[in-house]
Structure 1
Amino acid sequence: MRVPTLRDLAALPYAHRLEPFTGEIEREGTYEWLHFDGSAFEDVQGGSTQFSESAFSSATFERGHYRRSRFDDVWMHTVRMVGTDLAETTWLDSECTASVFAGTEIHVSEMHRTVFHQCKFDSVNLRGSTLKDVAFVDCLLRDVDFGGAMLTGVSFPGSTLDVARFDKATVTRVDLSEALALGIASGIEALKGATISSIQLLDLAPALARHVGLTVKGG
């Protein structure tokens, strides 16, 4: 996947259509061509909501439930998702920059052609999700669980993985070679077929040795 250049709000093809959002997000609502600028949402029950060709700038989501919602061609910048339930959501052709996902549930979700730039993921559950042509660029992924997920065409250029879990994940065309650090807590056997660099191989050697049952003695 070719990582696209960072875009600002004015560069979006639908920027001229955007109108300021006012009001509240409602369950099963449909939101198109809207700019959520500085919006703050707390404990919103917004499940099965659809956002399309919309932008989020400095928006905050605290807790709240957005299960089965869709984010189609959505642009996010400096957004905070804290303790938010995004399970079973669908992300398509979306871009998220300089944002924070903390204590967020995104399990059993689908992400396709989605890019995360300079984002921080802390204690995020992506178990059972399907990620296809997704890029994590210059991101920090701390305590992120990809257990049972299907990753196809996923890359991590410039990103740091810290206590990442891949138990029973399925990986195809996953490129870890440009990641700054690979802190794999578990599931290293599931990375069969992934691409890593020679330096990363040395870093992962102790975990690989444990996996195959090798005993390494000092030289």
Structure 2
Amino acid sequence: MSTPGTVAPGGRLAVMTSAAHDDAPAPPRIELVEPEGLIGGDVDQLARLGQAEGMRFAGATLADVDLAGGSIVECRLDQVTLDGVDFTGATVAESVITGLGAAHLDARRTTWRDVEIADSRIGAAELYDAGLDGVRISTSKLDLVNLRGARLADVDIVDTHLVELDLGGAEVTRLRLRGCRVDTLDLTEARLADVDLRGAQLSRIVGLDRIGGAVISPEQLVELAESFAAQLGVRVVE
């Protein structure tokens, strides 16, 4: 059984013990498929048309390219650097991205569906009002991930350092963090369901009153005790 934590508008916070299996959150439902039969991608063509399908881009650099409203479908991007690319409103689907480098990724209102991102380094990822469905991010570092107002469903983040994960106003269903470090997690006005935070090292949570719908471990509960007390207006005095 779970030990109830605090009640919040998004639902109940569950604190999972080693024997608590019945109340375990539903895991992300992700079915990623490796793109096959790819042809070599032409960066100039991508910049000109704003779309690519069934292509592989390797070791390419896209600088100041306008891909707003474009699409990347059934592609591989390996060791690709994005510098000043406008990706607003674009769609990335059924693709694999490895070794992505971007100081600033302008991806507002984008759609990400059945996408794997690995071994990547992103400074600021502007993903507010975006939609992420069936996405796995692994062995990466992201300084700022702005997902304010976004919709996340079936997202798995593994062995990744997120300096700031901003889910303010986001709708989040079946998000799981495993082996992750999150320096700041912002849940202001977020709506959570089946969010598994047990595999994350959480240093700071903003908007703790919206953590209902998430699951944490007993160890995390102890670590966050001071924050919970402050949220409830409780003074802890020796």
Amino acid corresponding to residue 128 of structure 2 in structure 1: H
> What does residue 57 of structure 1 align with?
78
Correspondence 1:12-51 to 2 at 5 A: 12=34, 14-15=35-36, 17-24=37-44, 25-26=46-47, 29-51=50-72
Give the structure-2-normalised TM-score.
0.84
Aligned with residue 198 of structure 1, among 203, 209, 218:
218
Offset at residue 27 of structure 1 (A): 6.7
Amino acid corresponding to residue 38 of structure 2 in structure 1: L
Structure 1, unaligned stretches of length 5 or more? none
Structure 2, unaligned stretches of length 5 or more? 1-26
Aligned with residue 141 of structure 1, among 162, 171, 191:
162
> What does residue 126 of structure 1 align with?
147
Q: Distance in 1 between matches of 2:90 and 2:133?
A: 14
Encode CA deviations 1:41-78: one digit per residue, 9 max, x unaligned: 11111101111100000000012211110011110111
Aligned residues, how many?
211
Correspondence 1:139-218 to 2 at 5 A: 139-179=160-200, 181-218=201-238
| Percent of pairs with identical residues | 27
CA contact 1:68–1:90 (8 Å) conserved in 2: yes
- Cα distance change, pair 79–176 in 1 and its aligned pair in 2 (3 A): same
| Stretches of 4+ aligned residues off by more than 6 angstroms | none
Pick 1 or 2: higher relative contact order, CA cutoff 8 A, min separation 6. 2
> Which is richer in strand?
2
Aligned with residue 72 of structure 1, among 93, 97, 100:
93
Q: Distance in 1 between matches of 2:28 and 2:102?
A: 26
Amino acid corresponding to residue 205 of structure 1 in structure 2: A
Offset at residue 81 of structure 1 (A): 2.2
